[in-house]
Chain A
């Protein structure tokens, strides 16, 4: 099975306040999501953090409701974060990312402190991702399998 790259882009690291007058760097990507049905309207763009520590993509439940999901009707999955475990609800959605739509099964959580996390399953498995701490950017190369 071959793999080829069709889209490549560099995303400068962004800064977030650290609550102590300074800031921290992070890599984030503006994305849209939609129901998996054909021609379903997309959400507005929101900023999701590129997070290799997330097993799958997770989005705030508010965004799921905005695209028409009955969030709490989804399969419940317990997830473990640094603050402990919480439940999220799984749904099949379309993720609009560089290079085109990715069909994914994502988690939705009301407890997520950010809008979204782009995790290993559904995001990292569709890209070659390079974090450049010196250049303070992240390079994404979309992979397609022939």
Chain B
């Protein structure tokens, strides 16, 4: 039986996340609990999902090496 390390689970979650969106991750960062087109929308949706302390991430239009 193989298990993914939590950090790699997070990477897979990010790969599966909608692009150019706001996503809310569960406290352990292992799954997406809400998606929104704005920060406020994803906050509302994560509260509706019962997650009071998510970590919110903005996904880019396309994944690529970051040079911001």
Contacts and interface: CB of A to CB of B under 8 A. Distances in A.
Interface of A: 12, 14-19, 23-24, 26, 30, 43-47, 49, 51, 53-54, 60, 62-63, 65-66, 81-82, 112-115, 117
A45 B39 contact: no
Contact of A114 (B38, B53, B66): B66
A115 B56 contact: yes
Contacts of A60: 39, 58
Interface residues of B, number: 28
Contacts, number: 90
Contact of B65 (A24, A44, A46): A24
Given A17-B14, A62-B40, A46 B56 contact: yes
B10 A65 contact: no
Shortest 6 CB-CB contacts between residues of A and residues of B: A62-B39, A19-B63, A17-B63, A46-B56, A115-B58, A113-B60
Nearest to B37: A62
B46 A44 contact: yes
A44 B56 contact: yes
Interface of B: 7-8, 10-11, 14-15, 22, 24, 38-40, 43, 46, 53-58, 60-68
Nearest to B38: A62
Nearest to A114: B58
Contacts of A82: 67-68
A127 to B, nearest CB: 19
B57 A115 contact: yes
